[in-house]
Chains A and B, each alone.
Chain A
Amino acid sequence: MSSKLRVLWLQSGGCGGCTQSLLCAEPRPLFDELRDAGIEFVWHPALSAESDVDALAVLESCASGQTPFDVLCVEGAMLRGPNGSGKFHLMAGSGRPLTEWVARLAVQARWVFAIGSCTAFGGLSASTPGNPLEACGLQYEGNEVGGLLGEAFVSAGGLPVVNIAGCPVHPGWVVDTLEKLALEGLAAADLDPLARPLFYAEQLVHHGCPRNEYYEFKASAGKHSDLGCLMENLGCQGTQAHADCHLRPWNGVGSCVRGGYACIACTEPGFEAPGHPFQETPKVAGIPIGLPVDMPKAWFVALAALSKSATPKRVRDNAHADHPVVRPALRKKHK
């Protein structure tokens, strides 16, 4: 790769939380790490010096092809409403819909990254009855390929939109993907079928779950702050959601499940409208509808019954408490 990887960043129908999360990158401070990896911002709305006409000049120069840049990172859903006008977000100072800016810039970029699930799939702005936004992702609308740029879109670098999905993204997902690109490029083989980087999307949130012992014995939490497995009652989708949240901690030490609440599968299209309350597990005849991916239902039911009957008292009692009430036994001494 030649010289610097130049990144242009735009924000639209989102909360800005992916940038806020990105700024938590560690161990090195984000700006140092990106600089030394050969990555620089052409402009970023939350970070750059240029404001007002100076900012518009940078964007216009990029959109017209005068200033070459490598990666267009977009953060936030594309708001096409009302009535297809894009008026729900006219970029300040320009009077033009953000959707128009994104479409112009996407054809100039060598690669286009959707930062966060709003940008990838529409996220919370999309697919809710009564919501007027007409929102979509860059190349998806929920599960459907299409979105703002359309199914056929391929950036100059030869890839569809790269979906760094998550609500928010983990800072490492963005930094790793940018650094891989700067190091040796990205290929279709680096992405999963939803165009998410395999770096994090070839894992399940369940992998490395700190509550795995409770999961194995189906020792389930019954209420908030219980230590037990969150899958059976409290809505956890960690066995179905693609991400490495338990192999790569959040904010140094955390994850949703470590925080005591369900994985709501925020890296998946349509997570915003699960069809049931987020913190309740839908069941039929007492069996959760959403079983672990790759798990045959009959085996799951059989194993669950078996493991429940084999649950140690320690695991069973602790599952219903907010701190361990039974400690692991000491190893017996062999004579």
Chain B
Amino acid sequence: MKRIQLGPFNRVEGDLEVSLDVADGHVVEARVNSPLFRGFEQVLVGRAPDDALAVVPRICGICSVAQSAAAAAALADLSGVTMPPNGQLARHLVQATENLADHLSHFYLFFMPDFARATYARRPWYADVAPRFAAVKGSAAPAALAARANFLKLTGFLAGKWPHTLALQAGGSTKATTPAERIRILAALREFRSFVENTLLGDALEVVAELDSEDALRAWAEGRPGDFPAFLAAAYDLGLERTGRAADRFLSFGAYDLLPAGVRQANAAVDALNAAKITEDTHHSWLAASPPLPPAQGETVVDAEKAGAYTWCKAPRYEGKVVETGALARLLIAGQPLAVDLVAKHGASVTARIAARLLELARVLPAMEQWVRNIVPGEPFCLPAPLPEEGQGIGLTEAARGSLGHWLSVKRGRIERYQIVAPTTWNFSPRDRDGQPGPLEQALVGLPAGDGVLPTIQHVVRSFDPCMVCTVH
């Protein structure tokens, strides 16, 4: 048995180190270290509650809007306000824009460049894939960057800018869409749809969204031009549909009133979400020891010399169990037939996670077009949301990479406690006090490791689209 340290993992958001115990060329145990601590939960304490809206987006430059939405939801919970329909539509649109843009960035900039590694030079797909997806220099990047930048203009219309908007408030949106902006947003959505259909998917969104089984997916992709079909050709050659399985339990807080909240058990049963079943464990974190605590009672106290600790990340658990979160979880809990079939056949995998993101693009983009049509200029976008001097609020939402929760408590008009459980905190959590490894730690076991092996570990790590800066808020 030997121990290998892998890092820095680039092309993830933030810094990541993975420690592997390897025997006979395969991973026996994995430990995931988030080597950066951000301290945002301390930064928030003592501030005015609404200040969270200015502070929390800055936890993360890639899920900035999701952080805003979670804080706004927690403040709305504290206030008791219900935002008007236009405000709800604007929030869905801004959140969906960030989430879908993140899926695009992940696919083109973070995930696909690993298939351009010289180690794959003899694979049949390499001559097509390598020049297209090589990091920075690949031929896919210019059009993908232009599509991303133009799509993110929706945030210019709806939220002032991205990242780090203050437009999302407890009572709705500070930005009331004008009649002219509504038309221009629809035009921007048409432009993005055109890129996704013609370049990324190679087919109409509605066709891709209706793919209902792995067999249908493979038949559809066969010989089809498009970057998703190109990924599938490489992924099936490498067996990535059978690679990277974790606990096969999944969590979603529900997105856009379109994809439901729930918990999918390993036997495929979907339970209703009960946020009271969430706890965080610090047994292997450089944080003060405590029994597993619900976030509403959570503490974040640094203990940098703690024995047995190996990460700044806490270990969140649902009913004491490890769960995976992300686009795949959202689609499974929504019962999307292709996602269900992929996981029924192989368990969660690199291929299933990537396919789920692109399926989500196909599913959510048409919904965005409808939300814009549903906006009624002239009707209100924001209601006042006066806050009590004391109280608690919970804000649950979905970032691109999974479930994000904020737990807020206010005393004498100031933030007394603010606890955040981010998507990658779930996915890249360390072991807990019972020794249960986190999802990535499970997904890496059994993979080839050491000198001269294929970069399978790189694919598995990036298949989760980790956001380390959120993890260690």
Contact = CB atoms under 8 A, between A and B. Distances in A.
Interface of A: 11-21, 23-26, 29-32, 41, 43-52, 55-56, 79, 82, 85, 87-94, 123-125, 128-133, 167-168, 223-225, 249-262, 264, 266, 272, 277-280, 322-323
Contact of B163 (A21, A41, A253): A21
Contacts of B43: 124-125, 128, 131, 272
B167 A259 contact: yes
B354 interface: no
B243 to A, nearest CB: 18
A130 B56 CA distance: 17
Closest 4 CB pairs of A and B: A259-B160, A17-B61, A92-B7, A254-B156
A225 B36 contact: no
A330 B154 CA distance: 32
Given A24-B162, A279-B166, 12 more contacts: A12-B36, A15-B60, A48-B11, A49-B134, A82-B304, A92-B9, A92-B15, A224-B174, A225-B173, A254-B157, A258-B175, A260-B173
A173 B265 CA distance: 48
B116 interface: yes
A132 B42 contact: yes
B149 A15 contact: no
B340 to A, nearest CB: 33
Contacts of B176: 225, 260, 322-323
Interface in B136-163: 136-137, 141-143, 145-146, 148-150, 152-153, 155-163
Nearest to B300: A132
Contacts of A249: 156
A16 B60 contact: yes
Contacts of B46: 129-130
Contacts of A89: 15, 35-37
A331 to B, nearest CB: 22
A40 B312 CA distance: 33
Given A15-B61, A92-B8, A168 B164 contact: yes
A153 B382 CA distance: 49
B378 interface: yes
17 contacts: A15-B61, A20-B105, A21-B162, A24-B149, A26-B150, A44-B136, A46-B10, A49-B113, A50-B10, A88-B37, A88-B304, A89-B36, A91-B7, A91-B15, A92-B8, A259-B158, A278-B53
Contact of B38 (A125, A252, A254): A125
B388 interface: no
Contact of B15 (A11, A43, A256, A257): A11
B33 A92 contact: yes
Contacts of B45: 130
* Most chain B CB neighbours (cut-off 10 Å) among A49, A85, A123, A224: A224
A132 B302 CA distance: 8
Interface string B6-21: 1111110111110000
A48 B51 CA distance: 36
B159 A254 contact: yes
Contacts of B36: 12-13, 79, 88-89
B253 interface: no
A39 to B, nearest CB: 12
A260 B167 contact: yes
Contact of A30 (B7, B15, B135, B145): B145
Given A24-B149, A223-B384, A264 B161 contact: no
B175 A225 contact: yes
A133 B61 contact: no
B171 interface: yes
B175 A51 contact: no
Main secondary structure of the interface of A (DSSP, over half): loop
B377 interface: yes
Contacts of B62: 15-17, 20
Interface string B301-327: 010100000001000000000000000
Contact of B50 (A25, A130, A266, A278): A278
Contacts of A47: 10-11, 109, 135-136
B172 interface: yes
Interface centre among B35, B61, B105 (most CB of A within 10 A): B61
Contacts of B105: 20, 23
A170 to B, nearest CB: 9
B174 A261 contact: yes
A90 to B, nearest CB: 5
B163 A17 contact: yes
Contact of A167 (B8, B58, B159, B382): B58
B344 interface: no
Nearest to B87: A225
A42 B31 CA distance: 30
Given A92-B33, A130-B42, A49 B135 contact: yes
B175 A259 contact: yes
A213 to B, nearest CB: 16
B458 interface: yes
A255 B166 CA distance: 11
B86 to A, nearest CB: 9
B48 interface: yes
B163 A168 contact: yes
A14 B304 contact: no
Interface string B84-106: 00000000000000000000010
Given A23-B149, A254-B155, A254-B160, A16 B175 contact: no
Given A19-B61, A322-B176, A45 B10 contact: yes
A322 B173 CA distance: 11
Contacts of B11: 45-48, 51
Contacts of A55: 8, 10
A133 to B, nearest CB: 5
A260 B13 CA distance: 29
Contacts of A129: 46
Contacts of A280: 48
Given A128-B42, A250-B160, A277-B50, A323 B378 contact: yes
Given A47-B11, A51-B11, A253-B153, A14 B37 contact: no
A72 B146 CA distance: 26
A272 B57 CA distance: 13
A302 B111 CA distance: 60
A260 B176 CA distance: 8
